[in-house]
Amino acid sequence: MSAAPPFCAIDFGTSNSAVAIPSADAAMRLIELEPGQRTMPTAVFYFAEGPHDVDGPPRAFGRAAVAAYVEGHDGRLMRSMKSILGSALIEQTTDVGGGRGAKYADIVSGYLKRLRRLAGEPERVVLGRPVFFVDGEPERDATAQAQLEACARAVGFTDVHFQYEPIAAAFDFEQQAIREGRGEQIVLVADIGGGTSDFSIVRVGPERVQRLARRDDILASHGVHIAGTDFDRHIELAGLLPEFGYRATGPSGREVPSGIYFDLATWHLINTCYAPLRVAEWRGMKSWFNDLRQHARLMTVLEERLGHELAARAEGAKIAVSGGADTTVDLGLVERGLVLPLSEKTAVDALRADLDRIIATAHETVALAGLRPEQVDALYFTGGSTGLRLLVDGMAAGFPGAARVTGDRFASVATGLGLHAQRLFAAPR
């Protein structure tokens, strides 16, 4: 049995995660978390049937978790677990199927345990964290980091450090810039993932790369709790859920209550829509609908528990229009032959407020650094949501003199965290 690596770095993302460990040549490498894949969806599927093992109820992780859900296995799919950090939900128990319950803290810990096991069970770790887990609430933000640290320690990590995710991405950019022979630069890192949009202004260059203390090079960090899962929600509300009665009016002229639709479009609230009393309430609200087909579709979603699948179709539609093309959404699972068009214009209109807020946050970060946009040498884009052309083009337009560089959308942060871990843990003590 090979010895455990001395340390690792973990990018525990809202949508995807990655892990870096030292390699034989003393560099850092991203490990395979699934066959042929260096990133893994941050997803856990709890099977309703099967015996407990030493780790708890039977589970699948990553792509296997999503596949188990799509294949119709009885159980509960958990995603966007990172969004729970900083809230009281972390200590609450949720139904995971088969009459079993699990604390949200144990769900997060279970996923981290899987990552640690795949890494070879090191005891020291650098964990990435967003600039703000919670916007505008420093106490809750500190609580979120403490909760994540507690989960990491619960699975065997004894030495836990944190680094801001966009700063880690800046370290990855720095390596690329040095390889290309570039000198000192000021880079605006845009790390736009599933849960947060984070920005840092960092001074990078060959004269600075070996310094362990880089605080003086971090000119400003800022962020906003708006990102990919918010885009998915707005796409679902604007493009899909109107066909299920969202914002429809009934015979009396009253608008159909919207709470159920907001919950159906929010991953961690979807299961609350299936509560028997809530389903019965909506079954009795048929008279609120002018178009009874909309009520029938809504009831199919609630009674057959199709909310997560509906959200996944919205995410797929967002990806399809991200390059600027129109698309269609097949909802035949709800009603035979139901196919909805989604135009780029609908997507733009649905996302405009979020995109404007994210772009404004980027400019606020530059101002916090005491800089003007023309003083930024490069924009470095990373995170899954930087695949959205509308966002990247809109941000680049505000920095016309900056080089536009795209990193590995899913691995840049983990690579940078690995570089930081190497400098931190390999440095003489």
pLDDT of residue 3: 74
Element (H, E) at 390: helix 389-397
Return d(Cα 250, Cα 288) in angstroms, integer: 5
List phi, psi (to 5°) of 345.
-60, -45
Q: Kindly calculate the radius of gyration of the chain based on its CA atoms and give it in whole angstroms.
A: 22
pLDDT of residue 1: 47
Tokens coding 298: 């809504």
Element (H, E) at 346: helix 344-368
Residues contacting 284, CB < 8 A, separation 6+: none
DSSP per position, 295-342:
HHHHHHHHHTT-HHHHHHHHHHHHHHHTTS--EEEE-TTTSTT-EEEE
pLDDT of residue 2: 63
pLDDT of residue 212: 66
Return d(Cα 195, Cα 247) in angstroms, integer: 26
pLDDT of residue 147: 97
List 78's β-bridge partners, or say none.
44
Return d(Cα 62, Cα 409) in angstroms, integer: 17
Q: Quote the DSSP letter at residue 238.
A: I
pLDDT of residue 43: 94
DSSP per position, 135-176:
TT-HHHHHHHHHHHHHHHHHTT--EEEEEEHHHHHHHHHHHH
The alpha carbon torsion through 14, 387, 186, 136 (nearest 10 deg) reads -40
Tokens coding 160: 């836990």
Buried b / exposed e along 189-226 (16+ C-beta atoms within 10 A)? bbbbbbbbbbbbbbbbbeeebeeeebeebbbbbbbbbb
Q: Quote the DSSP letter at residue 61.
A: E
CA distances from 68 to 64, 72, 102, 198, 250 (A): 6, 6, 19, 32, 38
* pLDDT per residue of the chain (429 residues) written in tens, 0 to 9: 467 889 999 999 988 999 999 987 767 899 999 999 999 999 999 998 888 777 778 999 999 998 888 787 888 888 888 988 998 889 999 888 788 888 999 999 999 999 999 999 999 999 999 888 887 889 999 999 999 999 999 999 999 999 998 888 988 998 888 888 888 899 999 989 888 898 999 999 888 777 766 778 889 989 898 988 899 999 999 999 999 999 999 998 999 999 999 999 987 788 789 999 999 999 999 999 999 999 999 999 999 999 988 998 998 999 888 777 889 999 999 999 999 999 988 988 999 999 999 999 999 999 999 999 999 999 999 988 888 888 899 999 999 999 999 888 888 899 999 999 998 887 554
Return d(Cα 137, Cα 406) in angstroms, integer: 31
Residues contacting 371, CB < 8 A, separation 6+: 186, 201, 219
CA distances from 351 to 3, 168, 259, 321 (A): 49, 27, 20, 12
In contact, 264 and 307? CB cutoff 8 Å:
yes
Quote the pTM value.
0.80
pLDDT of residue 176: 85
Return d(Cα 243, Cα 96) in angstroms, integer: 29
In contact, 419 and 172? CB cutoff 8 Å:
yes
